[in-house]
């Protein structure tokens, strides 16, 4: 008899085993989505709820889009600092995760419509600026022609040629004032940012197009640019067609867009951890059924709030160069930050891989969110209400509520297997292979030699994974074969036949 037949005979000879229901959460690491804590948005809560209802979208999509979009409206006018030596811009990157027709686009559009109206106001003087530029170009050509004649005369007279006058240099073409950009190359974004010190919002209906573009023109060279764009620091682009480098005072770009779950896993969760994924806040709510709205959002009030935020001016340094005005945390808020970081340091000990990197960014994200929340409240306050002098403890508590109760659980849901500790990943991989092969009996040595599962080639990790599946009622240790050593009785396992029930397939 073969070894497998011997094992099966041993099982048959033993008393009949009564199987219990297997724990199918072993292969389903997608956690249920948390509810968005709308109360953290203060006076914006009602607008978000009504806008979500109008678009048949989860409130999450509208709320998360609101935070990301308005982070770019505030832009570099205000940065936040808990204490000297640590500052954060208001930049937020957000990904709305969901299958097609889950309401991602309507959720984003409800917020973008406000900013598009703002952009219309900003561009009213663009035709006049463009006409002036065209006239300045003609004047520059005339000055250049005159200067070239003077150079020729000087040459003929054996004299030193005159320097080119500043008026002979062709002026740079004006850029239409804007907040939103879509598909754009690094150089075009840098050019826009050189003329928009406040920063920009990068929007893609499908973020997969953004992620795939990293390799389209530069063989992956776009990724470092975007990672830099999260920090808002100065940046320089060397241009092949121009000897003068393009200097960007603040490489500040907020990001918002939708993405499907399979695209997220393929484009963001695979490969080396370069820090890109860890910078993105995830939102993956339950879909909502189509519904007929019962009210219309008051966009007039929301529009006034957006204009109020955009009216915030940047500060100036000693040379008159625009710089962010830094808003400090209040003393109580700074104390809360210290307490929160200590608590989260303990909570992060279980995480690994991409999820651990993401959690490591949460302190900075929380600071950014606290500033946005502070100014969201002020934006809808009574006219004449003074601008916040600091980020209050109340706003910081709301930020920690958002992170602890929403964004961190959403990250665990979105990262799934990518956020699991190594040993747990191995259990998941073995369980999924069992579901694929549907064996009656498994052998530890055979799994290591023939199943070709990453990280499960040695008997130690395979045995450990099998022991976990015994605890989950997937496996049962085989009886020791006649004449075998006591230590080998756990090397074979019988597979729970209840796994093959039609209603026991892995959940998506």
Q: What is the pLDDT along the chain (508 residues), one digit of tens a residue?
A: 555 565 555 555 544 678 999 998 888 766 789 999 999 999 999 999 999 999 999 999 999 999 999 999 999 999 999 999 999 999 999 999 998 889 999 999 999 999 999 999 888 888 888 899 999 999 999 999 999 998 999 988 889 989 999 888 888 888 888 899 998 888 889 889 988 999 999 999 999 999 988 766 555 568 888 999 999 999 987 765 666 778 899 999 999 999 998 888 888 887 678 889 999 999 999 999 888 888 888 899 999 999 999 999 999 887 778 999 999 999 999 999 999 999 888 766 777 778 888 888 999 999 999 999 999 999 999 999 999 999 999 999 999 999 999 999 999 888 876 656 778 878 988 998 999 899 999 999 999 999 988 789 899 999 999 999 999 999 999 876 555 554 445 589 999 999 988 444 444 4
Q: What are 429's two structure tokens?
A: 């991989």
Q: Are strands 253-259 and 246-248 parallel, antiparallel or unpaired?
A: unpaired
Query: What's CA 84's distance to the chain center, in Å?
Result: 27
Last residue of a domain, one of 419, 441, 463: 419
Residue in 500, 80, 149, 156 with CA at minimum distance from that of residue 325: 80
Residue count of the chain: 508
3-state SS of the chain: helix, strand, coil percent to 5?
55, 10, 35
* 293 and 390 housed in the same domain: yes
Contacts of 191 (CB under 8 A, 6+ apart): 175, 246
How many CA within 13 A on the CB side of residue 93? 23
In a domain, 227, yes or no: no
DSSP structural state of residue 422: H
Domain limits for position 495: 3-27+421-504
How many CA within 13 A on the CB side of residue 28? 12
In a domain, 72, yes or no: yes
Whole-number Å distance between alpha carbons of 43 and 372: 13
* 145 and 260 housed in the same domain: no
* 366 and 495 housed in the same domain: no
Number of domains in the chain: 3
In a domain, 463, yes or no: yes
* 407 and 273 housed in the same domain: yes
In a domain, 194, yes or no: no
- List the 325-329 sheet strands across, edge first: 86-88, 78-83, 325-329, 390-391
* 353 and 266 housed in the same domain: yes
* 415 and 301 housed in the same domain: yes
In a domain, 460, yes or no: yes
* 323 and 445 housed in the same domain: no
Give the containing element (helix H, strand E) for 262: helix 261-267
Q: What is the pLDDT of residue 506?
A: 44
* 371 and 437 housed in the same domain: no
In a domain, 404, yes or no: yes
Last residue of a domain, one of 379, 394, 419: 419
* 411 and 429 housed in the same domain: no
56, 59, 64, 70: CA torsion to nearest 10 = 80
pTM for the full model? 0.78
Last residue of a domain, one of 404, 419, 434: 419
* 159 and 91 housed in the same domain: no
* 338 and 450 housed in the same domain: no
C-alpha triplet 442, 448, 451: angle, nearest 5°: 70
* 86 and 156 housed in the same domain: no
Q: Is 256 within 8 Å of 115 (Cβ atoms)? A: no
């Amino acid at each position: 008899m073969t070894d497998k037949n011997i094992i099966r005979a041993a099982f048959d000879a033993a008393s009949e085993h009564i199987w219990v229901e297997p724990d199918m959460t072993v292969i389903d690491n997608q956690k249920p989505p948390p509810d968005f804590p709308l109360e953290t948005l203060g006076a914006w809560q009602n607008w978000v709820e009504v806008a979500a209802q109008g678009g048949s979208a989860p409130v999450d999509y509208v709320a998360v889009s609101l935070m990301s979009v308005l982070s770019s409206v505030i832009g570099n006018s205000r940065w936040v600092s808990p204490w000297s030596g640590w500052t954060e811009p208001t930049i937020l990157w957000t990904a709305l995760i969901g299958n097609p027709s889950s309401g991602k686009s309507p959720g984003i559009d409800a917020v973008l419509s406000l900013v598009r109206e703002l952009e219309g106001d900003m561009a009213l003087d663009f035709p006049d600026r463009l006409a002036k530029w065209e006239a300045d170009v003609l004047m520059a050509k005339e000055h250049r022609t005159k200067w070239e004649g003077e150079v020729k005369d000087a040459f003929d007279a054996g004299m030193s040629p005159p320097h080119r006058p500043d008026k002979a240099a062709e002026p740079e073409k004006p850029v239409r004032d804007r907040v939103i950009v879509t598909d754009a190359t690094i150089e075009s974004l840098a050019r826009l940012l050189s003329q928009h010190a406040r920063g920009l919002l990068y929007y893609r209906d499908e973020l997969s197009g953004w992620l795939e573009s990293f390799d389209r023109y530069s063989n992956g060279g776009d990724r470092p640019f975007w990672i830099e764009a999260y920090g808002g620091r100065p940046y320089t682009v060397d241009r092949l067609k121009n000897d003068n480098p393009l200097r960007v005072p603040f490489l500040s770009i907020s990001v918002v867009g939708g993405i499907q779950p399979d695209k997220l896993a393929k484009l963001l969760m695979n490969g080396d951890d370069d820090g890109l994924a860890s910078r993105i806040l995830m939102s993956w709510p339950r879909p909502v059924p189509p519904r007929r709205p019962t009210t219309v959002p008051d966009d007039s009030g929301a529009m006034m709030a957006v204009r109020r935020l955009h009216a915030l001016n940047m500060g100036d340094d000693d040379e008159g160069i625009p710089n962010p005005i830094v808003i400090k945390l209040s003393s109580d808020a700074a104390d809360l930050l210290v307490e929160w970081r200590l608590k989260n340091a303990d909570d992060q000990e279980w995480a690994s891989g991409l999820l651990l990197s993401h959690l490591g960014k949460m302190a900075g994200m929380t600071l950014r969110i606290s500033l946005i929340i502070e100014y969201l409240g002020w934006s809808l306050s009574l006219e004449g209400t003074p601008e916040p002098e600091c980020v209050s403890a109340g706003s910081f508590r709301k930020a920690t509520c958002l992170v602890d109760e929403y964004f961190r659980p959403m990250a665990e849901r979105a990262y799934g297997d990518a956020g699991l500790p190594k040993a747990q990943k191995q259990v998941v991989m073995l369980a999924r292979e069992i579901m694929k092969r549907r064996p009656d009996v498994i052998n530890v040595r055979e799994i290591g030699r023939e199943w070709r599962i990453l990280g499960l080639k040695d008997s130690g990790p395979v045995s450990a994974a099998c022991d976990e599946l015994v605890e989950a009622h997937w496996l049962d240790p085989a009886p020791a074969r006649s004449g075998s050593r006591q230590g080998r009785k756990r090397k074979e396992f019988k597979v729970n036949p209840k796994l093959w029930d039609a209603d026991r397939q892995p959940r998506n």
